Amino acid sequence: MKWFYSFSAVVFIALSACTTSTTSTSSADEKIDSLMALMTLEEKIGQLNLPSAGQFTTGEAESSDIAKKIEQGLVGGLFNIKSVPAIREMQSIAVEKSRLKIPLLFAMDVIHGYESVFPIPLGLSCTWDMELIEKTARMAAQEASADGINLTFSPMVDLSRDARWGRISEGSGEDPFLGSEIARAMVRGYQGDDLTANNTIMSCVKHYALYGASEAGLDYNTVDMSRNRMYNEYFPPYKAAVDAGAGSIMASFNEIDGIPATANKWLLTDVLRTQWGFKGFVVSDYTGVSEMVDHGYGNIQEVSAKALAAGLDMDMVSEGLLNTLAQSLKEGKITEQQINAACRRILEAKFKLGLFDDPYRYCDENRAKNEIFTAENRAFARKVASESFVLLKNQNNLLPLKRTGTIALVGPLADASNQMSGTWSVAARHNESISLLKGLQNAVGNQAKVIYAKGSNLDADSIFEAKATLFGKTLHRDPRPADVIREEAVRIARNADVIVAAVGESAEMSGESSSRTDIGIPETQRDLLKALLKTGKPVVLVLFTGRPLTIKWESENFPAILNVWFGGSEAGDAIADVLFGDVNPSGKLSTTFPQHVGQVPIYYAHKNTGRPLGEGKWFSKFRTNYLDVSNDPVYPFGYGLSYTTFSYSDPKLDKASITLDESITVSVEITNTGNRDGAEVVQLYIRDLVGSVTRPVKELKAFRKITLKAGEKQTVSFTLSKNDLSFYNSDLNFVAEPGDFEVFVGGDSQNVKKTTFTLK
Ligand code: BGC
C-alpha cells in the first residue's frame, strides 16, 4: 500500500517528494530539508522523544497521554509495544492525525530472537560460528518485522570480564576480537543489505561505552579506565558494529572520566562521529537523561542541554529533551543547529527504513500470522542451541547417554519451561518453551524411562528466590523443608541407571540489575548434588547459567558437566540432542570460568606483570599470585570438549620474518582422532613480545570452526598482516611495531602449540 501526505497544499508539495524509498543520499537530504522547513521547533524536539508504550493495548492508546503527544507531533518513536494491530493503531495516529504526518519508529529489545528464542547472547557467542549467529539475527529481524517492529536495541557488545555483573549474559564474553566478529555478524543479520525491505530492521548497538566494566560488577556503577585500555580492549566491538553500518547506537548508563556517557561529548562526538565516522543516531538508555540528575551532573534542564550538546539525538523515556530544550534554546544554552542536527538524524533513520514511503511497511497481519514461531524457525533455534552448549567434562565418556534403562532427572531447572529463554526475551512464549523434562521425554519415547523430582528449590532463601524469579518466571517454590524435598529426589535417583541434575541459576539471576557477589551454584542445590553423589550412581550435571560460575568443586566431583546457558525456546530438545549424542557438542567458552569470585576480573589476555608466576607453579613468594587459590581458571577461554578428540600438529609458518607490507601464513593440521564426526574451533593467538606499551600474554587474532569426520585431517591456514599485529600505542595511534611475535594455535587459550616470527 502506498501512503501519501495530504494535509495541505504546501505540506503536500514538500512531502510528497518523500515518498520514494530508493532515494540517493542527496535526494533524501533534500527531502529532509523540505520537511524540516515545515517543522516547528516543538515538532523538531518532538522527534527526539522516545517514550515507552508500556502496557498499552489497542483502544486504550487513543485516550492515553502518549496518543495525544503523538497527535501533537511530540513523539519520534515508541518501544515496548507488541503486535501489528497495536503498532498500526499508534502509527495511524502519527500519520493521519499529526500535523506533518511523520511516521514513528517502533523499537523493541529483540535480543536473542523474537518469539523463536535463541540462546542468551553469551551462549550464542560460544558457537564461534559467525554464519550461524548472523542467521539468528536475520531470523529475529524477520519475526520482529513481521510483528511491526523496525528497530532493535541489539546487539549488546559490551565486553565484560566480571562474572559478578549480571549483564555479562547479554554480551559475547571477554574478548575484543571475538566480540567484534559477533558485533559485525549481528548488525549484518538484522539490517541485511536493504534496510527498506520489510523484513530487515535497524540495529541499535549498545551500550556505548564500557558498560561491562562497571566497578565491582555492580550494575550502573562507575567506570574508570585508561584510554589505552578502552581503545585496545573495550572499544573494538562498538567500532566493529559502527563499521558494519549499524543505524543507531545507545549511550550507556555509566560515567566515563567522571562524565555520564549520555552527555559525554568526547565519547558521543569526538570518538564516535569524528574518529569512527558514525552517521546514525544516538539514543539514551532508559531514563539515561534524567538519571544524570542523580549522577550529580545538573538539574533536568542542564543535563538535557548537556546531552544534546554532547551529541545525543534521542531521549528514551525521560522526556528531559522534550520538556526543556526550548527553554535552553531561549537561554542560549544550546543552539538551534544542535536541535536540527539531532532531528535530522531521526528523520534520516525513518527514511532509511522506508517509513516515509510506507509507514505501515512493517504492519502486515499475514506476515505476523505466518512468519513467527514457525516450525522451521523453531527447528533452527534448536540447532543453534545445541551448538551453544559447552561440554566441560566427560570422564570415561559417560556422555552421550543411551536411550535405555531409567534416567532420573532432578533439580530446580529440570521442569522449568519458563526459564529456558533466559533473560531479555520479552517476546518469548515462555510457557511453550521446551523444558529439559519434556526434551528428555521427547527424546526417549518409550525406549527408556524418565523419572523426575525437583530435589531442591532454587535457593534456601525465599526472598532471594523471589528476586530471582521476577516477571512471572516462577519456579513454583516447594514449601516443604529442604531435606524432605531432597530425600524425595534421592529416593527416585537410587532406582535409576543414571542421574541428570539440572542445576544452576534461574533466568533472572543474570541480566539487568542481577549482580551477584557469590557466583556459585546456590548452597541448597549443592546439598542436593552432594546427596546425589552419595547414591553412587553416575551423575551428569546440566548447568543452567547466565554467567561463568565458580564450579571448582563440581568440576572435581562430577564425571560429566554440560553447560547449557539458557538455550531459548527449544532448549529442552536441544539439550536432549546433545545428551543422547544426536548432536556432538562443539561450543567453546567465550568467557573464563574462575575458581573463586576473588579472582574476578580473570581473563586470558592479561598482562604479564613484572613478576609473573611462571608456568606450572601455583605459588612463589613475591610473585603475582594469591596465597589461597592458584591463578588458574577452572575452565579457560576457548575451552570446550567434544564426544570426539582432535590433535593439532605444530604450527608452520611460510616465512621466518616479514616486513610491514607483507603477510605471514600460519598452517596447522588438525586430525579428528576419535570415532565420531565432530566440529572444532581452531584458535590462533599471538603475543607481541615487546611493545611501546606492554602487550597481553595472548591475544586471539583468528579462528575457524571446521567439521571433521572420524579419522579425517584438515590443514587450516590463517594469514596475519599488519592490521592483526597492530595495537593502539600511548598516543592512541594504531601501529604495528617491529620485533618478535609468538604465535599459538590450539583448541583453547591454554592448550596450544607455539611458533615464532619477526616483524622487521
Ligand atoms: C536497558 C537497555 C534496554 C532498554 C530498553 C534498559 O534498562 O539497559 O539494554 O535496551 O532498557 O528496554
Q: Which is more confidently placed, 61 or 755?
A: 755
Sheet (strand 560-563) strand order: 390-394, 560-563, 539-544, 498-504, 406-410, 449-453
Ligand 1, from 120, 153, 318: best to mutate by most atoms within 8 Å of Cβ? 153
- When pLDDT is cut at 50, 70 and 90, the band that residue 362 belongs to is very high
Q: Could you read off the pLDDT of 108-162 as tens digits, one per residue?
A: 999 999 999 999 999 999 999 999 999 999 999 999 999 999 999 999 999 999 9
Q: What is the pLDDT of residues 544-577, one digit of tens each?
A: 999 999 999 999 999 999 999 999 999 999 999 9
Containing structural domain, residue 26: 2-368
Q: Cα(130) to centroid of ligand 1, in Å?
A: 25
Specify whether the CB–CB gap between 454 and 486 falls below 8 A: no
Co-location of 557 and 659 in the same domain: no
83 and 53 in a common domain: yes
Q: Whose CA is nearest to atom 10 of ligand 1?
A: 153
pLDDT of 758 reads 98
Nearest CA to ligand 1 atom 2: 285
Return the ligand 1 atom nearest residue 156 CA.
Answer: 9
- pLDDT score, position 64: 61
For residue 253, the ligand 1 atom closest to its alpha carbon is 8
Is 626 among the domain residues?
no
Q: Are residues 199 and 152 in the same domain?
A: yes
What's the whole-number mean pLDDT along residues 315-325? 97
Chain centre distance of CA 747: 23
Closest-lying ligand 1 atom to the alpha carbon of residue 250? 10
- Whether 615 is covered by a domain: the verdict is no
Separation of CA 638 and ligand 1 centre (Å):
29
- Do residue 394 and residue 292 come from a single domain? no
Q: Quick one: average pLDDT of 493-514?
A: 98
Question: Ligand 1 mean position to 263 CA, how many Å?
Answer: 17
Mean pLDDT of 440-451: 98
Asked if residue 286 has its Cβ within 6 Å of ligand 1, the reply is yes
Query: Is 512's C-beta closer than 6 angstroms to any atom of ligand 1?
Result: yes
- The reply to whether 339 and 393 lie within a common domain is no
Give a yes or no: residue 195 inside a domain.
yes
**Interval 254-287: pLDDT, tens:** 999 999 999 999 999 999 999 999 999 999 999 9
Q: How far is the CA of 109 from the centre of ligand 1 (A)?
A: 7
Q: Is the CB of 680 under 6 A from ligand 1?
A: no
Is the pLDDT confidence value at 513 over 60?
A: yes
Residue 22 has pLDDT above 70, yes or no: no
pLDDT at 25: 67
517 and 384 in a single domain? The answer is yes
pLDDT confidence bin for 62, thresholds 50/70/90: very low
Task: Examine the residue annotation and report whether 285 is marked as an active-site residue of this protein.
Answer: yes
Type of residue numbered 133 = I
* Residue % of the chain over a pLDDT of 70: 95
With a cut of 60, say whether residue 63 has pLDDT above it.
no
User: Do 57 and 159 belong to one domain?
Assistant: yes
Say which CATH number the domain at 147 has: 3.20.20.300
Domain boundary among 318, 338, 368: 368
* CA distance to 343, 535, 559, 601, 749, per residue, from 410 (Å): 56, 13, 16, 33, 34
Q: How many domains does the chain have?
A: 3
Closest protein CA for atom 11 of ligand 1: 286
Q: Phi/psi of residue 19, each to 5°? A: -90, 15
171 CA to middle of ligand 1, Å? 13
Tell me which DSSP letter residue 7 carries. Answer: S
Task: Evaluate whether 211 touches 159 at the Cβ level (below 8 Å).
Answer: no
| pLDDT of amino acid 27 | 82
Could you read off the pLDDT of 392-404 as tens digits, one per residue?
999 999 999 999 9
Ligand 1 pocket, residue 161 CB under 6 Å = no
Q: Is 345 in the pocket of ligand 1 (CB under 6 A)?
A: no
Closest atom of ligand 1 to CA, residue 154:
10
Q: Whose CA is nearest to atom 6 of ligand 1?
A: 286
β pairing state of 652-653 and 657-658: unpaired
The predicted model scores a pTM of 0.96
Q: The CATH number of the domain where 719 resides is what? A: 2.60.40.10
Provide mean pLDDT across the span 705-723: 98
Looking at ligand 1, which residue's alpha carbon is closest to its atom 4? Answer: 286
Asked, for residue 651, whether it belongs to a domain, the answer is: yes
Predicted confidence at residue 28, as pLDDT, reads 86
Does 478 contact ligand 1 (Cβ within 6 A)?
no
Rounded CA Rg of the chain: 27
Kindly state whether residues 322 and 462 are assigned to the same domain.
no
How far, in Å, is the centroid of ligand 1 from the Cα of 286?
Answer: 6
* Axis crossing angle, helix 130-146 with helix 375-388, rounded to the nearest 10: 150
> From ligand 1's centre to the CA of 482, what distance in Å?
37
Query: Can you give the pLDDT at residue 222?
Result: 98
**What contacts 415, CB < 8 A, 6 or more positions away?**
409, 435, 436, 437, 452, 454
Ligand 1 lined by 718 (C-beta under 6 Å): no
Q: Which of 347, 368, 389 is the last residue of a domain?
A: 368
Q: In this structure, are residues 23 and 355 in contact, taking their beta carbons and an 8 Å threshold? A: no
Q: Indicate the pLDDT class of residue 2, thresholds 50, 70 and 90.
A: very low
CA torsion sign for 95, 96, 98, 100 is positive
What is the whole-number distance in angstroms between the Cα of residue 90 and the centre of ligand 1? Answer: 21
Any atom of ligand 1 within 6 Å of the Cβ of 208:
no
Q: What is the pLDDT of residues 636-655, one digit of tens each?
A: 999 999 999 999 999 999 99
Instruction: Express each pLDDT in 26-54 by its tens digit.
Output: 788 999 999 999 999 999 999 999 999 97
Q: How does DSSP assign 523-542, residue by residue?
A: HHHHHHHHHHHHTTS-EEEE
Asked whether 71 lines ligand 1 (CB < 6 A), one says no
Whether 285 lines ligand 1, by a CB cut-off of 6 Å, is yes
Q: Is the CB–ligand 1 distance for residue 315 below 6 Å? A: no
Single out the residue in 340, 368, 396 at which a domain terminates.
368
CA of 709 to the centre of ligand 1 (A): 44
Q: Are strands 652-653 and 664-672 parallel, antiparallel or unpaired?
A: antiparallel
Q: Looking at the domain assignment, is residue 543 inside a domain?
A: yes
Is residue 528 pLDDT above 90, yes or no?
yes
**Does ligand 1 lie within 6 Å of residue 109's CB atom?**
yes
Residues 392 and 331 placed together within one structural domain of the fold: no
Confidence band of 24 (pLDDT split at 50, 70, 90): low
Residue 612 within any structural domain of the chain: no
Q: Ligand 1 center to residue 353 CA distance, Å?
A: 22
301 and 450 belong to one structural domain: no
* Residue 513 CA to ligand 1 centre (angstroms): 11
DSSP string, 255-312: EETTEEGGG-HIIIIIIIIIIT---SEEE--TTTTTHHHHHTS--HHHHHHHHHHHT-
**Quick one: pLDDT at residue 615?**
85
Q: Is the CB of 167 under 6 A from ligand 1?
A: no
> In the predicted model, is pLDDT for residue 3 greater than 50?
no
With respect to residue 390, please indicate whether it lies within any of the assigned structural domains. yes
Q: How far apart are CA 343 and CA 337, in angstroms?
A: 10
| 420 shares its domain with 564 | yes
For 281-294, give the secondary structure using H, E and C. EEECCCCCCCHHHH
Contact status, residue 125 vs residue 173, Cβ threshold 8 Å? yes
Q: Give yes or no for residue 219 CB within 6 A of ligand 1.
A: no
Establish whether residue 206 lines the binding site of ligand 1, counting it when its CB lies within 6 angstroms of any ligand atom: yes
576 shares its domain with 710: no
Q: Is 588 in the pocket of ligand 1 (CB under 6 A)?
A: no
Q: What is the pLDDT of residue 59?
A: 42
Q: Does 109 map to a domain?
A: yes
- Which of 80, 512, 514, 515 for a ligand 1 pocket mutation test, highest count of atoms within 8 Å of Cβ? 512
Ligand 1: centre distance to CA 430 (Å): 20
Nearest CA to ligand 1 atom 12: 109
Determine which one of 285, 357, 459, 688 is catalytic.
Answer: 285
Residue 13 has pLDDT above 50, yes or no: no
Binned at pLDDT 50, 70 and 90, residue 61 comes out as very low
Q: What CATH number corresponds to the domain at position 432?
A: 3.40.50.1700
153 lines ligand 1 (CB under 6 A): yes
C-alpha cell at 639: 575451552
Cα–Cα distance list, 59 to 93, 103, 317 (Å) = 12, 19, 22
